[in-house]
A and B are shown apart, each in its own frame.
Chain A
Amino acid sequence: MKVLKSWLNDWIDIEDIDSNDISDALESLGFEIESRTDKVPNYKNIVVGKVLEIYTHPNADKVRVTKVDVGSKVYEIVCGAWNFDIDAVVPVALPNSEIKDGFKIDKRDIRGVESNGMICSASELDLWDDHAGILKLSKNIKIGSDFSKIYNSVDTLWEIGVTPNRGDCMSHLGVARELSSYFDKPIKSNDIKLSPNIENVIKVNSGRTKFCDSYLSVEIENFDITDSDIKIRYRLSSVGVRVINNVVDYTNYVLHDIGQPLHAFDRDKLFGTISVRKAKEKETLKTLDEQTRKLSKDDLIITDNDSPIALAGVMGGYDTEVTDSTKNLLIESAYFDKVSIMKTSRKLNLISDASIRFERGIDYDIQHKGLERFISVFKHDQDINYSEAMISKKNTFSHENITFEKEDIFNILGVELKDDFILKTLSKLQIQSTLADNKISFTSPSWRYDLERPIDLIEELAKHYGYNNFNSTLPIGKNLNNKGEFWNKRNYISNLLSSKNFYEVQTLSFTDKEANSIFTPEKTSVTVINPIDQTQESLRTNLLTSLINTYKHNYENNNLSCKYYEINNVYDDGNHKLYQDIPNQEYSLGLLIPENESNPDTRGEYIQNDIHTLTNIINLLFPKVQFEKLLRPGFHKNYSYILKLNNKIIGFMGKLSYQAQSLLNLDTPIYLIQINTESFNFKDIQEHNYQPLSSYPFIKFDLSFTVQEQFSASELIQYIEGLLPENENNISIFDNFRTEKSRNLGIRIVTRNYNKTYTDSESGEILDMIVKKVQSKYSIKLNKSDDNAT
């Protein structure tokens, strides 16, 4: 919302206060300052003149020649605008003056006639956008005056944010009330005495609906529809309202002045009693913008003899609108229900200055003042006739008196506020209050809907005390250096993967249904009913597609083939493990390893990864993991595994199937892992068993066996370890050679006794024992043994 310093000055004397101080005040009162403009005239040496004569140009028919009196002298000026007659009072740029943006005006020959300057339009003086012609001023202004002196040409404009709970601040009066307490200056009453001189012709009432608390009207006769006063037009255009004509401008003016929206009807287009009700289904109304709107029973409407004539608080009707030929007016000033207006304006997407104010709640006791202000502004300009206000009010509002202990203030804020500060602040805010026996009682004024509880008043006091005047104290919480398992687990995994040159990524949680079905067709996607676009309607059921997209992005854009991981939620339509009424969500880890990985060393070749790189990473993360072969969608026939920890499934991994690889347009094979990080405890993966170091020399055997195609090497290692339970063992596979007919497995056994050095014969016995046991257990053939191999 925009506020003008000169306009605020109508309500509180702040003209002499530095604008920087006002900015500080606004911010400290909770108005975020979005922008501030220090206004100065964008012109020089413009004077007020009066048109004495107008005659045709001898050599041009698109312009006219005028004689203009500027007080000291009469000038001949050629003018291209036609929207004025003799006697018009206008701004004149004499020779040696400047209009908008430093454009110099001088004597100039226009087709043989010397023009001694220029008659200016509002746009040419950078006042507001108006290309209809020159700017016509009130005939009361003294000829020869300095134009910049006839309105507040030096001014400050603020654009401020008003929080949604403070509808009462959406006017100059509202902001002035807040500043009044800050600067300790009184609010001016600006009351005027009206003397109505015509009778009301049209009856109005607020209807039987609870959605209209009050409906007031005045009627106005004997006026001209014309431009409004320059001061009004300057103010409205400064705060961003388009100036139209006096009737429309004055209704807008009252809205920005005191926050009461008004609506003007052409009285001669009204026939019966004006009332308010909710619309019926299938009723229609042609609104000002000439659209025929279908109404519903949620819409609050104004009726004339029970027929819709306006959408209450949102938009007027076409059939009763004020036009250039309007002779008599009926001005509406009403209080409409917040939620009702909000629903209608949002549904029809008609959001106006008026609807926004009704939505947030206007002062329920200001409707009469709204009409008074309207008449007083109009009367200042023209000698109008007007009626009394017709008032229909239900008085549904009353603000309760609330009492609380004064010590509650300290208990919440941590500072003691002095009694006189409390009382003075509340009084400036026109909040009725008393302080006795350490109890505070208050009743909020008719414009405040945000003061319903003691805490509301405590906040109000804190704000006016100034947040930056509070002390600071640092309490220490009860969870010192205990981040909790969720975070520790996440960081542990992340640190391990970082050390292996994986890049962590953060990708969006959205995808489309088809992408989800590549890897996790068994899961039903959670869908967004109002998606940003159709490719983002589903929440991802796995992290793998996102990882592949990231891989492809960097491969295609940067020619880099890297390893990635992401730790984030996946979602599906199943039941949530802990909570009711929400879908299942699993905080998951996804990894991607390409077969050809770019070498970080630019001298190096591609790093070759294979299924063993994958198992290596998994073993690093989960030393006790078990693999169980199971073909999952999207995976390679032989390289697709379920991962288990303590016999519980924690995830799956494998190689992308060649078909999926080709479908996804990937140049290199890809290995993928997805783990549900909620499916295991941190201690299950972190547990470390220390193996003591033997101080005796090792013995070492390299054995080579012929094994079956499906033989599991890790099982063999575990078996051999079991055969040497008292030793420090280090058993590894050093060869896995395949031909079409056979498979050879080379296994290296390095073992040390904890208590002695093995003799040659003991060493030989151990070798014989292992070979014998392994051959009989697995029925595999020993090809070769190399005792104490090096």
Chain B
Amino acid sequence: MAELNFDKVLASLRLRLDEVTSENEFDEISKEFLGKDSLLSDERKKLSTLSKDDKKSYGEKLNRVYKSITDNITKSKIDFIDKKYSNLENSENEDVTINWVNKQGSHRHIISQVMDEVVDIFSSIGYKVAYGPEVETSWHNFDALNTPEWHPARYESDTLYTDINLETLLRTQTSTVQIRHMENNEPPAYIVAPGRVFRSDQLDATHSPVFHQLEGLAIDKNLKFTDLKGTLEYFVKQFFGEDIETKFIPHFFPFTEPSAEVLVKWNNEEWLEILGCGMVDPNVLKHVGYPKEYQGFAWGVGIERLAMLKYQIDHIKNFYENDIRFLEQF
């Protein structure tokens, strides 16, 4: 029996496979070497003419050849695809350290972000945002807040007035919102009021004619000085971190009594004052007509001051110049 020279067939297959340039050639090669017109098929057709023993041995041989051809094609195809993608990936090799796109963040002004953060903290313990006018009556800014007629804060050198009789002014503190809120809402009151306040100062590194405060007010039955302490300690820890040390020292504000200032220990060194607070003075509650069984506490915190501390900002001016170099950092 004349057997086909299978080594020759396989050698010719390998030559063909080495020359492949596109993926669909593998199908053509399969067809050529294994399809119905292939040499292998021709040999299979001859099997029926062989003796039983020859048939068995030649049949097995043909199967081995078939497998060998298939394996060769499959392996070659895998290698081809691997090489194709590998080359493609090799060709893509950018310097990833180049930052083509300028810093893109939320771009919310840092003052808004800090106000938001403070509001979120108080919202988590049951306070709602209230707001009030920025051009206010002297009564709401001073008298209702128990500020005596002779108090230096009323001087024209400190406060910006909008009428000649000094009856309207640009509010010097967000505490005015306490009064507006209580005039218009029955107790209890749990509010925070972030907003702008105004002083007669030129804009420079440490002063601004406009700055932001957040006023807080809690009025209910049975609120005590110990509640004030707990509330503000909660805030300071939420804002600056659990490890911050705080202390309360006595102070004076016309609209609270007892009054205190809260200090935090900064970088384990200096004690810095960050907010003023106290039990709402009975005269204030009387001015807004709240019933006697209600009392509570109030506090005020400077937003710029918080921002300057937390983010190590050195100039107040930066907040209001709105230079992109500044805005982009937050």
What distance in Å separates the Cβ of B227 from its nearest Cβ neighbour in chain A? 5
**Which residues of chain A in 544-565 are interfacial with respect to chain B, using CB atoms and an 8 Å cutoff?**
550, 553-554, 557-558, 560, 562, 564
Name the CB-closest residue of B to A530.
Answer: B156
Interface mask (B105-119 → A, CB under 8 Å = 1, otherwise 0): 011110110001001
Contacts of B220 in A (CB 8 A): 475, 478
Residues in A whose Cβ lies below 8 Å from that of B295:
411-412
A414 to B180, CA, bound (A): 28
| B136 close to A (CB within 8 Å) | yes
CA distance A471 to B324 in the complex (A): 46
Known: A462-B225, A503-B324, A504-B112. A476 touches B125 (CB 8 A): yes
B216-239 with Cβ < 8 A to chain A = 218, 220, 222-227, 229-231, 233-234
Whether B321 sits at the interface, judged by CB under 8 Å, is yes
Specify which chain A residues have a CB less than 8 angstroms from the CB of B312 in the assembled complex.
none
Q: Are A414 and B225 in contact (CB under 8 A)?
A: yes
Q: Within 8 Å CB of A338, what residues of B?
A: 150
Known contacts being A477-B126, A482-B128, is A510 close to B209, with CB within 8 Å? yes
Instruction: List, in ascending order, chain A residues with CB within 8 A of B230's CB.
Output: 471-475
Find out whether the CB atom of B322 lies under 8 angstroms from the CB atom of A582.
Answer: no
A532 within 8 A of B: yes
Task: Let me know if B10 is at the binding interface, CB within 8 A.
Answer: no
Say whether B315 faces chain A, with CB atoms less than 8 Å apart: no
Contact between B111 and A581, CB atoms less than 8 A apart: no
B149 at the interface (CB under 8 A from A): yes
Q: Which of B36-52 contact A (CB under 8 A)?
A: none
B101 interface hit (Cβ, 8 Å): yes
Check A508–B320 contact: CB distance below 8 A: yes
Q: Does A528 contact B (CB under 8 A)?
A: yes
Rounded to whole Å, the gap between the CB of B119 and the closest CB of chain A is 6
B160–A507 contact, CB under 8 A?
no
User: A533–B200 Cα gap in the complex (Å)?
Assistant: 10
Shortest B157–chain A CB gap in Å is 8
Other-chain contact of B123, A472, A473, A482, A603 (Cβ < 8 Å): A482
* Chain B residues in 8 Å Cβ range of A471: 226, 229-230
- Interface 1/0 per residue, A459-478 and B, CB below 8 Å: 10011000110111111111
Cβ–Cβ contact A528 & B162, under 8 A:
yes
**Complex contact A462–B135 (CB within 8 A):** no
Contact A585/B133 with A498-B107, A504-B107, A506-B319 known, Cβ cut-off 8 Å: yes
CB of A532 within 8 A of CB of B229, answer: no
- If the complex has contacts A507-B322, A509-B134, are A582 and B225 also in contact, measured as CB distance less than 8 A? no
Contact B126 A506 (CB under 8 A): no
Interface residues on A, range: 35 or more
Q: B9 near A: Cβ within 8 Å?
A: no
B131 interface residue per 8 A CB criterion: yes
> Is A312 on the interface with B (CB-CB < 8 A)?
no
Contact with A along B258-299 (1 / 0, CB 8 A): 111100000000000100000101100000000000010000
Q: Is the CB of A582 within 8 A of B248?
A: no
B86-130 interface bits toward A, Cβ cutoff 8 Å, 1 = contact, 0 = none: 000000000000001110101111011000100100111111111
Given contact pairs A473-B227, A576-B133, A498 touches B190 in the complex (Cβ within 8 A): no
Most buried by A among B101, B151, B323, B324: B324
Of B11-19, B23-31, B60-68, B249-257, the one contacting chain A is B249-257
* Nearest CB in chain B: distance from A759 CB, A: 38
Q: How far is the CB of A282 from chain B (nearest CB, A)?
A: 25
The answer to whether B250 touches A601, judged by C-beta atoms less than 8 angstroms apart, is no
- A468/B247 contact (C-beta < 8 A), A414-B226, A504-B109, A582-B137 known: yes
Q: Find out whether the CB atom of A569 lies under 8 angstroms from the CB atom of B134.
A: yes
Given the known inter-chain contacts A166-B252, A503-B327, please indicate yes or no for A474 contacting B234, CB distance below 8 A: yes
Pair A581/B252 contact, Cβ less than 8 Å = no
A27 at the interface (CB under 8 A from B): yes
Number of B residues, CB within 8 Å of A? 91
Q: Across the two chains, which residue of chain A brings its CB closest to B127?
A: A477
- Is B202 on the interface with A (CB-CB < 8 A)? yes
A140 within 8 A of B: no
| Cβ–Cβ contact A478 & B226, under 8 A | no
Does B1 count as interface, using CB distance less than 8 angstroms?
no
Interface residues of B in 126-166 (CB under 8 A from A): 126-131, 133-137, 149-152, 155-156, 160-164
Q: Closest residue of chain B to A573, judged by CB? A: B162
Report the nearest B residue to A585, measured CB to CB.
B133
For chain B, residues 152 to 203, give those with C-beta under 8 angstroms from any C-beta of chain A.
152, 155-156, 160-164, 167-168, 170, 180, 188, 190-191, 196, 198, 200-203
Minimal beta-carbon separation of A370 from chain B (angstroms): 24
A-B pair number, CB within 8 angstroms:
253
A459 interface neighbour in B137, B248, B258, Cβ under 8 Å? B258
Question: Which residues in B have their C-beta under 8 angstroms from that of A45?
Answer: none
Which parts of A114-162 form the interface with B (CB within 8 Å)? none
Q: A30-B250, A503-B107 given as contacts; is B233 within 8 A of A558 (CB)?
A: no
Nearest B residue (CB) for A505? B322
Q: Which residue of B lies closest to A579 (CB)?
A: B133
A163 proximal to B (CB < 8 A): yes
Does A80 touch B at the CB level, under 8 Å?
A: no
List A371-426 residues whose CB lies under 8 Å from chain B.
411-415
Bound CA–CA A410/B241 (angstroms): 31
Known: A560-B324, A582-B136. A504 touches B108 (CB 8 A): yes
Interface residue from A462, A501, A558 paired with B325 (Cβ < 8 Å):
A558
Closest to A29 in B: B250
Known A-B contacts A413-B225, A508-B210, A585-B135; the reply to A463 vs B250 at CB < 8 A is yes
- A274-306 vs B: 1/0 string, CB under 8 Å? 000000000000000000000000000000000
Q: A residues within 8 A CB of B125?
A: 474-477, 480
Contacts of B108 on A, CB cut-off 8 Å?
Answer: 494, 498, 504
B-facing residues in A311-354 (Cβ within 8 Å)? 338-339, 342, 346
B252 to chain A, nearest CB (A): 3
Q: Which of A484-492, A689-697, A703-711, A723-731 contacts B (4 or more CB under 8 A)?
A: A484-492
Do B203 and A508 have beta carbons less than 8 Å apart? yes
Closest Cβ of chain A to B257, distance in Å, is 5
Known: A27-B249, A475-B231. A554 touches B258 (CB 8 A): no
Return chain B residues, CB-CB under 8 Å to A481.
Answer: 123-124
Q: Which residues of B lie under 8 Å from residue A529 when comparing CB positions? A: 161-164
A455 within 8 A of B: yes
User: How far in angstroms is the closest Cβ of chain A from B276?
Assistant: 11
Query: A602: nearest residue on chain B (CB-CB)?
Result: B100
B196 in contact with A530 (CB, 8 Å)? no
With A487-B119, A506-B111, A571-B135 already in contact, the answer to whether A600 and B104 are too (CB < 8 A) is yes
Residue of A with least CB distance to B112: A504
A186 proximal to B (CB < 8 A): no
Select B224's contact among A359, A411, A508, A532, beta carbons within 8 Å. A411
Determine how close the nearest CB of chain B comes to the CB of A455; give it in whole angstroms: 5
Are B322 and A554 neighbours in the complex by a CB distance under 8 Å? yes
Q: B126's contact among A459, A480, A583, by CB below 8 Å, is which?
A: A480
Chain A to chain B contacts (Cβ below 8 Å), 8 pairs: A164-B151, A475-B220, A477-B218, A480-B125, A508-B209, A529-B162, A532-B201, A581-B137
- Top 5 nearest A-B pairs (CB, nearest first) are A477-B126, A477-B190, A30-B250, A414-B224, A414-B226
**A interface vs B, CB < 8 Å?**
27-30, 32, 163-166, 338-339, 342, 346, 359, 411-415, 453, 455-456, 458-459, 462-463, 467-468, 470-484, 486-487, 491, 494-495, 498, 501-510, 526-533, 536, 539, 550, 553-554, 557-558, 560, 562, 564, 568-569, 571, 576, 579, 581-583, 585, 587, 600-603
Beyond contacts A413-B258, A585-B135: 12 other A-B pairs, Cβ-Cβ < 8 A, are: A28-B250, A30-B249, A339-B150, A413-B224, A455-B282, A472-B226, A487-B129, A498-B107, A504-B108, A506-B322, A509-B210, A539-B162
Binding site for A on B (CB under 8 A): 100-102, 104, 106-109, 111-112, 116, 119, 122-131, 133-137, 149-152, 155-156, 160-164, 167-168, 170, 180, 188, 190-191, 196, 198, 200-203, 208-210, 218, 220, 222-227, 229-231, 233-234, 247-252, 257-261, 273, 279, 281-282, 295, 319-325, 327
